């Protein structure tokens, strides 16, 4: 029986694949048989990563249409097309500064356009230029990396949230619009992921609270690992996800379903071991 989680004979293009979640996806896809192409804005950063992990790197700023056009041309000329597109690149560096995004009343028009370009326009450009190649395969797959910010308020990240919500809306439109041509489009709504941009697998745990009533408090789930997102991306991109289209899959450890109410009864515990002889 053929393994539905294999990507043999397929070319996968992963934007922002030089670190963190993107690199975790690239490594998993490589291990599952794909010819993996990653891109990033820095040749100095991307080329060594590609050599180390046996990937192919092309320098491209995915907010620049000329770069995107050249990136897709390279995939078609040197790799036989594009079977899987993962739109992962995002404005992580801008968000970490804490002075670009913010409340709508304080965000400048320049910052708005910069963040929307990095969260939404970039995915439009790659999808727009890769669609012909995806259609030609007869079974193209697009996986967009979204965020829980698309569905839940994140005060102070107003523009980022708007861009990711737009990405999820675009996901559904592309899914329905191109299904008859054999292209599927899904998204992953990512929660809290512990990414140190090294191995991407550092896992953060909630702080231990020893107060007697600590169990009553609403507590977010432990942070996930980049590999958790990669596993979901493989599921959606490979034949395993052949009947899944237009879905936004939460990979958030239950963060989106978390109750803000405290426990009203003692929370379940493991059964006590029977010590009787």
- State yes or no: is 243 an active-site residue: no
Query: Could you give phi then psi for residue 225, rounded to 5 degrees?
Result: -110, 160
Torsion of CA 26, 32, 37, 43, to 10 degrees: 40
Report long-range pairs for 256-264 (Cβ below 8 Å, ≥24 apart): 256/148, 256/151, 256/152, 256/189, 256/191, 258/218, 258/220, 258/221, 259/218, 260/218, 261/218, 262/216, 262/217, 262/218, 263/215, 263/216, 263/217
Strand partners, 250: 189
Token digits of residue 51: 């050599």
Catalytic annotation, pick one of 58, 124, 160, 178? 160
> Active-site residues: which are they?
160
């Amino acid at each position: 029986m053929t393994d539905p989680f294999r990507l043999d004979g397929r070319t996968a293009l992963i934007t922002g694949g030089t670190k963190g979640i993107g690199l975790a996806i690239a490594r998993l896809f490589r291990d599952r048989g794909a010819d993996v192409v990653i891109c990033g804005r820095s040749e100095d950063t991307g080329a060594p990563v590609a050599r180390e992990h046996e990937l192919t790197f092309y320098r491209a700023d995915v907010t620049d249409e000329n770069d995107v056009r050249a990136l897709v041309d390279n995939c078609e000329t040197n790799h036989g097309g594009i079977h899987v597109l993962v739109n992962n690149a995002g404005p992580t560096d801008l968000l970490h500064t804490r002075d670009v995004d913010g409340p709508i009343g304080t965000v400048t028009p320049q910052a708005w356009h910069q963040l929307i370009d990095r969260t939404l326009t970039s995915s439009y450009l790659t999808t727009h230029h890769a669609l012909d190649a995806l259609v030609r395969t007869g079974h193209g797959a697009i996986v967009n990396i979204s965020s829980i910010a698309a569905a839940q308020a994140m005060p102070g990240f107003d523009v980022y949230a708007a861009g990711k919500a737009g990405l999820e809306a675009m996901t559904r439109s592309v899914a329905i619009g191109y299904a008859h041509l054999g292209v599927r489009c899904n998204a992953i709504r990512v929660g809290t992921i512990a990414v140190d941009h090294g191995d991407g697998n550092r896992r953060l745990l909630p702080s231990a609270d020893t107060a007697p009533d600590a169990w009553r408090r609403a507590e977010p789930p432990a942070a996930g690992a980049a590999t958790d997102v990669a596993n979901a991306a493989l599921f959606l991109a490979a034949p395993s996800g052949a009947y899944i289209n237009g879905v936004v899959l939460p990979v958030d450890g239950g963060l989106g379903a978390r109750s803000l109410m405290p426990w009203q009864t003692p929370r379940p515990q493991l059964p006590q071991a029977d010590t009787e002889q």
